Amino acid sequence: MTESETPVGATVAQQVRHFRKERGWSVRQLADECARVGATRLTQSSLANIERGLAEGARRKSREVTADELVALALALGVSPLSLLLPVDREPEATFALTGSVTARRDDAWRWGRADAALPAEPWDPVDPVRTEEFERLSLPPEERNARRQTAGRLADEVRRDVYRLLGVAGFASASMPEVEEKYERYLTTARASVDRLNSEIDRVQAEHEELLNFARRRREERDDG
């Protein structure tokens, strides 16, 4: 398989180097951390080979990372495995290759990786509810899948999305860019409305639970009296 057919492999190499440098570690120090978590095969030489493909004009292909090594590298670097598979330093709307024929926007890829939503067939396609429901059924533990199907779970996801979008524009102010302020006000209104809907649903869940609890108490009292 050629390098162009393994774009995620190139991303892993880039991210390993990125997080190693963020830690201020040498390749030898990363090898020591890998050994500490039990990945003794990730030696200094192996890690240098993994990163080699990033060097301009590298003559040899970089070493591919196995699934076991990916987990070990994430543990050693103190990051999520997803942070090694997907880019973290690109713009939300930026597209990148997942395979030789599949591309995705950064935000869509992260939602897919977190099992928040199925990956759109094309980068700018809207979310397909049917595909997402099947995706969640296959991808999530039962308790999380069931929680997301509840209204409160769905509203919680909406709150997170709307608050993150608000925070993406908060703190930027410019008299020469009134559209930024307009976007901020719109996102602020949307986020507050999402929070209000979630609070209302939580109140409904609490009332329903208390009703069921009172019913169970009455039934127990009736049995005791009988």
Instruction: Express each pLDDT in 65-113 by its tens digit.
Output: 999 999 999 999 999 999 999 988 778 788 988 988 899 999 899 989 9
Residues of the chain with pLDDT > 90, as a percent, come to 53
Instruction: Express each pLDDT in 16-33 by its tens digit.
Output: 999 999 999 999 999 999
Instruction: Kindly indicate the confidence band of residue 5, based on its pLDDT and cuts at 50, 70 and 90.
Output: very low
CB atoms inside a 10 Å sphere around CB 139: 15
pLDDT given at position 214: 94
Cα dihedral sign, 93-97-103-107? negative
Residue 120 contacts residue 128 (beta carbons within 8 Å): yes
Pairwise pLDDT comparison (78 vs 122), residue with the higher score: 78
Separation of alpha carbons 63 and 161, rounded Å: 37
Task: Please give the average per-residue pLDDT across 139-149, as a whole number.
Answer: 90
Residue 49 contacts residue 62 (beta carbons within 8 Å): yes
Which of 24-28, 45-49, 61-65, 155-159 has the highest mean predicted lDDT (pLDDT)?
Answer: 24-28
Residue 155 contacts residue 194 (beta carbons within 8 Å): yes
Residue 5 contacts residue 100 (beta carbons within 8 Å): yes
Instruction: Kindly indicate the confidence band of residue 1, based on its pLDDT and cuts at 50, 70 and 90.
Output: very low
Residue 75 contacts residue 36 (beta carbons within 8 Å): no
User: Residue 116's closest CA among 95, 86, 91?
Assistant: 86
Give CATH for domain 3-89.
1.10.260.40
Residue 129 contacts residue 118 (beta carbons within 8 Å): no
Q: Residues 98-106: contacts with CB within 8 Å, 24+ apart?
A: 98/7, 98/8, 99/5, 99/7, 99/8, 100/4, 100/5, 100/7
Please report, as a single letter, which amino acid is at residue 33: E
pLDDT given at position 123: 85
- Mean pLDDT check: name the lowest of 121-135, 170-184, 210-224: 170-184
* Entry pTM: 0.75
Instruction: Kindly indicate the confidence band of residue 57, based on its pLDDT and cuts at 50, 70 and 90.
Output: very low
Cα dihedral sign, 76-79-82-84? negative
pLDDT given at position 61: 57
Residue 86 contacts residue 113 (beta carbons within 8 Å): yes
Q: DSSP letter for 3, please.
A: G
pLDDT at 209 > cutoff 60: yes
Name the residue ranges covered by the structural domains of the chain.
3-89, 107-225
